[in-house]
Amino acid sequence: MEISELYNIFRKHPVVTTDSRDCPEGSIFFALKGASFNGNAFAAKALEQGCAFAVVDEKEYAPEGDSRFILTDNCLHTLQMLANYHRRQLGTKIIGITGTNGKTTTKELVSTVLQKKYNVLYTQGNFNNDIGVPKTLLRLKPEHQIAVIEMGASHPGDIKTLVDIVEPDCGIITNVGKAHLQGFGSFEGVIKTKGELYDFLRNNGGFVFMHNDNKYLKNISAGLELVKYGSDHDDKSLLVSGEVIECAPFLKFRWSVKGGDWHEVQTHLIGSYNVYNMLAAACIGTYFGVAESEVSDALRDYVPTNNRSQLETTASNKLIVDTYNANPTSMKAALENFRDMAVSPKMAILGDMRELGSVSGEEHQKVVDFLKENNIDNVWLVGEEFGKTDCNFRKFPDVDAVKAEIAVHKPEGYYILIKGSNGIKLFQLPELL
């Protein structure tokens, strides 16, 4: 079946699913494969559950004469082609977002700001991979004026795959740092892969919102139309500039357009490093004509709900929860911010940073050395990699060991930073503290 024919079916049945347990009436089921499952085996069940059609890529699962089964060469590729075809038909203005850290927060901030003026579609949660991105695009409706699409990567070529599906009109790389090094091979591999967004925009007449303080991004920005933001208030080439006022513990900052009047914003985000995510959103909002007062209102009102930079107050402690992900760049930023916070006493519960490959030992030792040099009253380290480091801090093999210790000796009266890769499962701790 040609993609145009499938698109005609999609127009009549504009909901797709890849989960046979979630089959809205009249939707289209795509039989994707995983390491431990074959979606083709669930195609018939999906039809029974309410789907109108099932796209499969193994002939034995497409009964002869049953037009509800659509046989294709590769279900994932077909899903991606359908999403791209749909994107082209609608022609919606699309902003692509990637980066080592801050892309999800920036995506949410940008969307919040743009919603002051536009009907915006944006990536839900972290559906930023080769399945989540096309499913997001297929949610586009004619009434959407702008789409904000987050794109993640863990291997070289990942961003190129996604930008070829999305075809963004403009984009932003929040930053580049040491993450997924096991997949990328090196920091240079990270830069090259994230830079695939720039490559697409450079070759297709797009433009870039650029963090002007980041030397790595400046180094790969040649030949691009740039809309810049940064910290230098006197630099008139910046559309937006800004600076931190305080972080005690919530970030308070000020920003201005083209060196003009300051706008002061008290946010609900923890961490001075979030100022650049705020400035990115202010820059994009300003570029697209959102009034400066409404930009400030949107940034002031945004409350995170995704285990990123959240402050939770319990009966016993105040918790700074950042358990969604961790890599050397984000860990360093979180610890520097925690060090500078004018609160006491301080405690840190840190989990392993995953997928660092051959540099894992070195990077975990750097974290430990930072902790040794700075005054954090109580430190617990969780995971195998931290277990190998040279230090006198308390070490726990896993989150269950931490939970057992809390049950016997619960910390009380602390400001506690909780940060680690999602796989370490530190998100289980806040309810116990």
- 80 occurs within a structural domain: no
Looking at the structure, tell me whether residues 166 and 135 fall in a common domain.
yes
User: Residue 20: which CATH number?
Assistant: 3.40.1390.10
What is the per-residue pLDDT across 182-232, written as a single tens digit (0 to 9) for each? 555 566 666 777 788 899 999 999 999 999 998 888 888 888 999 999 999
Looking at the structure, tell me whether residues 204 and 320 fall in a common domain.
no
pLDDT of residue 180: 46
Looking at the structure, tell me whether residues 66 and 142 fall in a common domain.
no
**Total domain count for the chain?**
3
Residues 346-353, mean pLDDT to the nearest whole number: 93
Q: What percentage of the chain exceeds 90 in pLDDT?
A: 68
pLDDT of residue 127: 86
pLDDT of residue 176: 74
Looking at the structure, tell me whether residues 406 and 426 fall in a common domain.
yes
pLDDT of residue 163: 94
What is the per-residue pLDDT across 368-417, written as a single tens digit (0 to 9) for each? 999 988 878 799 999 999 999 999 899 999 999 999 999 999 999 999 99
Residues 43-50, mean pLDDT to the nearest whole number: 95
The residue that leads in pLDDT, 283 or 341, is: 283
What is the per-residue pLDDT across 117-176, written as a single tens digit (0 to 9) for each? 999 999 997 788 999 999 999 999 999 999 999 998 776 778 899 999 999 999 999 987
Distance between CA 207 and CA 115 in Å, rounded?
A: 21
- 182 occurs within a structural domain: yes
Looking at the structure, tell me whether residues 317 and 396 fall in a common domain.
yes
Residues 36-45, mean pLDDT to the nearest whole number: 93
Looking at the structure, tell me whether residues 185 and 294 fall in a common domain.
yes
pTM: 0.82
User: Residue 325: which CATH number?
Assistant: 3.90.190.20
- 415 occurs within a structural domain: yes
* Closest residue by Cα to residue 362 from 175, 187, 103: 187
Looking at 301, 320, 339, the residue that finishes a domain is: 301
- 211 occurs within a structural domain: yes
Looking at the structure, tell me whether residues 261 and 135 fall in a common domain.
yes
* Cα 403 → chain centroid: 28
- 104 occurs within a structural domain: yes
Looking at the structure, tell me whether residues 331 and 214 fall in a common domain.
no
User: Residue 155: which CATH number?
Assistant: 3.40.1190.10
Looking at the structure, tell me whether residues 58 and 105 fall in a common domain.
no
Looking at the structure, tell me whether residues 407 and 378 fall in a common domain.
yes
Determine the structural domain holding residue 54 and report its residue range. 3-71
Looking at the structure, tell me whether residues 170 and 195 fall in a common domain.
yes
What is the per-residue pLDDT across 232-267, written as a single tens digit (0 to 9) for each? 999 989 999 999 998 877 899 999 999 899 999 999
pLDDT of residue 102: 80
